[in-house]
């Protein structure tokens, strides 16, 4: 099961993240440097430090979401998920609930598996062959996929 992600969105997001990191990183670093070099009672060191934390948190979330298609690998026996905690294998037989939903024009498959606190989100519209991917996953799951609004019909045919 080798499904290719739509690389345009991932590449655009990586370039934008690098650009935002360089621009805001430079601004924050220079201002923190000047605040540390010449501290005055009116200095806003904590404000700039907070701006840095918020900026880099937003960039990290953006990268985490947009690289999901690159971090999930499909196998005949289950999913291999690459994350900050390392590799995690989730067998198809461990999936207890599957749900297709739509959020802002994107269709995703949410899988709840045994032994995982957080559900696995598969962004179907981020793949070139989204309908085929959904059918391949459907064949391997031990449970039926819940699709109350027939959201899967919105996926483009391959």
72-154 folds as PH-domain like (2.30.29)
What pLDDT was estimated at residue 97? 92
Ordered by start, the domain boundaries in the chain are 7-66, 72-154
What pLDDT was estimated at residue 112? 92
Angle at 152 (CA atoms; ends 89, 141), nearest 5 degrees:
35
What pLDDT was estimated at residue 41? 64
How far is Cα 10 from Cα 151, in angstroms, rounded to an integer?
24
Burial class (CB in 10 A: 0-12, 13-18, 19+), 100: buried
| pTM of the entire predicted model | 0.67
What pLDDT was estimated at residue 133? 84
Average pLDDT per 10 consecutive residues for the chain, totaling 158 residues:
67 81 83 77 72 84 76 86 84 90 82 86 82 86 85 73
What pLDDT was estimated at residue 23? 86
Q: Which residues pair with 117 in a beta bridge?
A: none
Angle at 99 (CA atoms; ends 93, 101), nearest 5 degrees:
150
What pLDDT was estimated at residue 2? 58
């Amino acid at each position: 099961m080798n499904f290719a992600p739509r690389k345009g969105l991932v590449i655009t997001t990586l370039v934008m993240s690098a650009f935002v990191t360089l621009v805001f990183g430079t601004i924050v670093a220079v201002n923190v440097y000047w605040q540390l070099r010449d501290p005055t009672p009116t200095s806003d060191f904590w404000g700039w430090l907070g701006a840095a934390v918020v900026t880099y948190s937003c960039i990290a979330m953006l990268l985490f979401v947009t690289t999901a298609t690159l971090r999930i690998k499909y196998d005949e026996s289950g999913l291999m998920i690459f994350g900050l905690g390392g590799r995690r294998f989730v067998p198809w037989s461990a999936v207890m609930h599957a749900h297709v939903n739509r959020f802002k024009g994107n269709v995703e498959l949410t899988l709840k598996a045994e032994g995982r606190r957080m559900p696995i989100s598969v962004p179907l519209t981020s793949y070139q062959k989204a309908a085929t991917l959904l059918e391949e996953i459907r064949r391997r799951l031990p449970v039926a996929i819940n699709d109350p609004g027939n959201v899967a019909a919105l996926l483009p045919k391959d």
